[in-house]
């Protein structure tokens, strides 16, 4: 557990939130209210702030081929409005697929954008760096999110 809590951990294997990615200048406006978030990436808030979901201890239970993790984030945590209860279910399917399901409920309008930072070497065990570097990833998409310095611009 201590390795995950180190400041230099690059989110390996972590559930990331309340908001994945960067929020410029650590502020956002929602329903006319301006919210100031914890800055942890220069002036920006990255992956939920100083104490994002990757830095908290989650409750969990195991049921068959599933493990369900839950975390209750308090109103005002890292500057975000609303209490948010998040459940993340990891399941191994009958087809040996890893399925990750996210559910979040909140008491107020807020931002929630969850993701996972697991990494996989599709070349297989023992393939080394060369096998990993030979991966080719193609995304068949009609649109993408434009960024400027890693901050989404709102244009897609």
CATH value at residue 20: 2.70.98.10
Inside any domain, residue 154 = no
Checking if the pLDDT of 8 tops 80, the result is no
Sort 58 into a burial class: Cβ within 10 Å, 0-12 / 13-18 / 19+. Answer: middle
Inside any domain, residue 146 = no
Mean pLDDT over residues 79-98, rounded?
96
Mean pLDDT over residues 10-39, rounded?
94
Range with the poorest average pLDDT among 33-37, 46-50, 116-120: 116-120
Q: Which residue has the higher pLDDT, 72 or 155?
A: 72
CA 88 to chain centre: 11
Sort 143 into a burial class: Cβ within 10 Å, 0-12 / 13-18 / 19+. Answer: exposed
Using alpha carbons only, give the angle 136, 142, 16 rounded to the nearest 5 degrees. Answer: 65
Inside any domain, residue 147 = no
Tokens of 64: 């068959």
Checking if the pLDDT of 4 tops 70, the result is no
Full residue range of the structural domain in which residue 103 is found: 2-120
Q: Buried b vs exposed e over 66-86: b needs ≥16 C-beta within 10 Å?
A: eebbebebeeebbbbbbbbeb
Inside any domain, residue 126 = no
What is the structure's pLDDT at 150?
Answer: 87
How many domains is the chain partitioned into structurally? 1
Q: Which residue has the higher pLDDT, 134 or 4?
A: 134
Inside any domain, residue 57 = yes
Mean pLDDT over residues 51-79, rounded?
96
Inside any domain, residue 84 = yes
Checking if the pLDDT of 44 tops 80, the result is yes
Checking if the pLDDT of 2 tops 80, the result is no
pLDDT in tens, 108-137: 999 999 999 988 778 888 887 788 788 888
Task: Record the pTM.
Answer: 0.84
Q: Which residues contact 144 (CB under 8 A, 6 or more apart)?
A: 156
Inside any domain, residue 23 = yes
CA 102/CA 77 separation, integer angstroms: 20
Inside any domain, residue 22 = yes
């Amino acid at each position: 557990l201590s390795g995950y809590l180190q400041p230099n951990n690059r989110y390996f294997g972590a559930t990331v939130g309340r908001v994945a990615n960067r929020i410029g200048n650590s502020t956002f406006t929602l329903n006319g209210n301006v919210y100031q978030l914890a800055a942890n990436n220069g002036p920006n808030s990255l992956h939920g702030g100083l104490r994002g979901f990757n830095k908290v201890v989650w409750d969990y239970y195991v049921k068959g081929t599933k493990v369900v993790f839950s975390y209750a984030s308090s109103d005002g945590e890292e500057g975000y409005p609303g209490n948010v209860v998040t459940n993340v279910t990891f399941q191994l399917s009958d087809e040996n697929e890893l399925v990750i399901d996210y559910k979040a409920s909140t008491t107020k309008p807020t931002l929630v954008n969850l993701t996972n930072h697991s990494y996989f070497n599709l070349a297989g065990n023992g393939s080394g760096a060369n096998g990993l570097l030979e991966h080719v990833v193609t995304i068949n998409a009609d649109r993408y999110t434009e960024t400027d310095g890693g901050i989404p611009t709102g244009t897609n």
